[in-house]
A and B are shown apart, each in its own frame.
Chain A
Amino acid sequence: MSEIIVVENLVKRFKDVVAVNGVSFTIKKGEIFALLGPNGAGKTTTIHIIATLLRPTSGIVLVAGYDAVKNADEVRKRIGVVFQDPSLDNQLSAYDNMYIHGRLNGLRGRELHEKITKLLELVELKEYAHKKVMYFSGGMRRRLEIARSLLHEPEILILDEPTIGLDPQSRAKIWDYIKYLKKEFNMTILMTTHYMDEAEELAHRIAIMDKGKVLAMGTAEELKSMLGQDVIYVTLKKISDDNNLCKLFDFVKACSMLDGNRLELVVDDASKALPEVFRVVSLNSLQVAEASYRRPTLNEVFLHLTGRELRDSLEQPSVPQRRRVRGFR
């Protein structure tokens, strides 16, 4: 069984908003899968449903073959979750937070103690083990939460915005842990992010979400090649007298001469077109001094799919995540 998470036509309607509107995807064992999209796209809601914290309005969610609604207990045994908002007990020490998590998830005694020590070492918090979490920085808390989620060695790790609000060093560290987990334990990781670089750096496959729907899914390369228009820049060593070099490259979509010896070639797929470009260049006894190509980033893909920039959408107000239900007045 290679498909460890199956989400089919998932719909979640809150009182006034449809947060998730017909989302489907599958995640293979050992894969890092990212949901990428702006705040309010429905990523967290989707993840909460998979983690059995919300009941879907309709649709099917299977985790390791178990239905997330009917067999929630079985699902919970197989997942480790790092939430977007902190979920540590601030009044307790790092060690106690780990300890309680271990006991809540079926670990005990010597084994538990050793695992806690090992994991705190992994996330470089060992010397703070007996400090209360309330004195921890954001990055330390995040690392502690990741360590905690790994304690019971889940098959599937769910990370909701793992690096939100962190400084670059902490981000880099957390990226390293995620890569390490994949490499060392072949863990299946489902993550959400609104950072394009994060999705691109970590995920094997990415689903771009907006307004409760998955707009596109695939590897970062696949997503970007949807746009087709790669741009290749070739600088030649010696320019020939012939000013019309473009006629040599009849296989490209568009070609133009830039100042000096630079050519700009627009192609569908630069990785396929580049060898051909080199072949043509050498056939005509020319030499390449420099070659580069620029691929569309995920931001351009998002722009292409939604008509707006991902980073613009980040500034829009999101669907309220924690709603105040019937307050006492």
Chain B
Amino acid sequence: MSSSDAFASMIYRQLKRWWNNRSRVVMTVLNPLLWMVFLGLGWGGIFSPQSIPTAPGIPNMPSVADVIVKAIENYFKQLFGGVDYVTFMITGIVVMSAFIASFISGISVIWDKQFGFLKETLVASAPRSVVILGRIVGDGIVAAIQSLLIVLVSLLLTNNINLINTPIAILYVFIMTLGFTALGTTISLKFSSMEGFQMVVNLITMPLIFMSGVFYPPTTMPEWMKWIAKFNPLTYSVHAVRYWLAGANAGFEYMNPLTDLAILIAFTSLMLVTAVKTFEKTTVED
């Protein structure tokens, strides 16, 4: 069966490329680690009860102070869905790094265009839909492996990670990365300018990350930002992954792991169909 062969060969190619590029493998883990250590531990101190007793305005009476500290601690916990800030952020970073990795790998179709490998896939006798799906799934697998590595690294920083549920969380990550790889693929098939490459990545990834609840819960966002966050697929994967990894529930009222899954599947399906349709029509003209 030649279709499954073509599918497998594209997965093989994406994995092999990732593996051949060892420095990239290290970077994919190192970069999120920097975020987790510095941003997580840095802000984590602020959003924790240790910082409270010295705050101005807190009366210097042990019993009252204790009550206030407890209350504030509870407030933070409730704000971050029932966990401390470090755990909150670390679980977000797992999704964020998978998201960036998948979007960039989709966008890197533009490199295939530049270096000509795209033409090789365009004249292959296998159906184009199979070829592009293989490529996307290959990238999805790479992103999923990376986020698994990051979950393992995060064990050094927090002990609130539920390892038993980790495979479920990774499954959510995988579904999401397929969607964003497909989106990146579609974008780079439509546009060919290399100069715009980095800009598109930043222009799309940064706002999506900030409006997804990676660094702060979506419930505390201003109304307009909340509104955008609700249309951001990343919000749902952040919420679900946080739920499965740490048992946290920091999101809008209607969000639960099942609605998250439904929304992610819908988003990813739409993106995959778009990418396949685009690739089938691709010529060397654009």
Contacts and interface: CB of A to CB of B under 8 A. Distances in A.
Given A92-B16, A92-B20, A104 B117 contact: no
SS class of chain A's interface: helix, strand, loop or mixed?
Answer: loop
B159 interface: no
A85 B192 contact: no
Contacts of A100: 9-10, 12-13
B283 A324 contact: no
A86 B195 contact: no
Nearest to A158: B123
Interface string A88-113: 11111000100111111111100000
Contacts of B192: 322, 324-325, 327
Interface string B159-186: 0000000000000000000000000000
Interface string A39-82: 00000000010011111000000000000000001001101010
Interface stretch (B41-49, B53-61, B125-133, B147-155): B125-133
A103 B284 contact: no
B6 A103 contact: yes
Contacts of B207: none
Interface string B121-148: 1111111000100000000000000000
A214 B285 CA distance: 22
Interface centre among A77, A79, A103, A327 (most CB of B within 10 A): A103
A103 B8 contact: yes
Interface string B184-217: 0000000111011001100000000000000000
A79 B124 CA distance: 9
Given A104-B131, A106-B125, A328-B200, A53 B5 contact: no
A172 to B, nearest CB: 25
A61 B285 CA distance: 18
A327 B195 contact: yes
Contact of A79 (B10, B123, B131, B196): B123
A87 B199 contact: no
A101 B126 CA distance: 10
27 contacts: A48-B283, A51-B123, A52-B122, A55-B283, A73-B127, A76-B123, A81-B119, A88-B116, A88-B117, A89-B17, A91-B17, A91-B20, A96-B13, A99-B12, A100-B10, A104-B5, A104-B6, A104-B120, A105-B124, A105-B125, A106-B6, A152-B125, A324-B193, A325-B285, A327-B191, A328-B195, A329-B196
A52 B16 contact: no
A100 B117 CA distance: 11
A132 to B, nearest CB: 7
A14 B5 contact: no
Interface residues of B, number: 37
B285 A99 contact: no
Contacts of A183: none
Nearest to A325: B286
Contact of B124 (A14, A55, A76, A83): A76
B236 to A, nearest CB: 28
Given A73-B125, A73-B127, A100-B13, A132 B283 contact: no
A247 interface: no
Interface centre among A86, A96, A100, A104 (most CB of B within 10 A): A104
A85 B118 CA distance: 12
A106 B284 contact: no
B9 A91 contact: no
Interface of A: 14, 48, 51-55, 73, 76-77, 79, 81, 83, 85-92, 96, 99-108, 132, 152, 322-329
Contacts of A73: 125, 127
A158 to B, nearest CB: 9
A91 B123 CA distance: 20
B13 A326 contact: no
Given A76-B125, A328-B200, A104 B9 contact: yes
A105 B10 CA distance: 12
A139 B282 CA distance: 29
Nearest to B5: A103
B150 to A, nearest CB: 24
A322 B115 CA distance: 12
Given A92-B16, A103-B12, 9 more contacts: A14-B285, A51-B123, A81-B123, A87-B117, A87-B119, A99-B12, A100-B13, A104-B9, A106-B2
A53 B8 contact: no
Contacts of B2: 105-106
A93 to B, nearest CB: 9
B21 interface: yes
Contact of B9 (A83, A99, A322, A328): A99
Contacts of B5: 103-104, 106-108
B9 A103 contact: yes
Nearest to B199: A328
A104 B119 contact: no
Contacts of A99: 9, 12
A193 B161 CA distance: 63
B129 to A, nearest CB: 11
Nearest to A76: B125
A53 B13 contact: no
Nearest to A83: B119
B20 A326 contact: no
Contacts of B285: 14, 54, 323, 325
Contact of A326 (B127, B193, B200): B193
Contacts of B120: 87-89, 101, 104
A48 B118 CA distance: 14
Contact of B126 (A54, A88, A105): A105
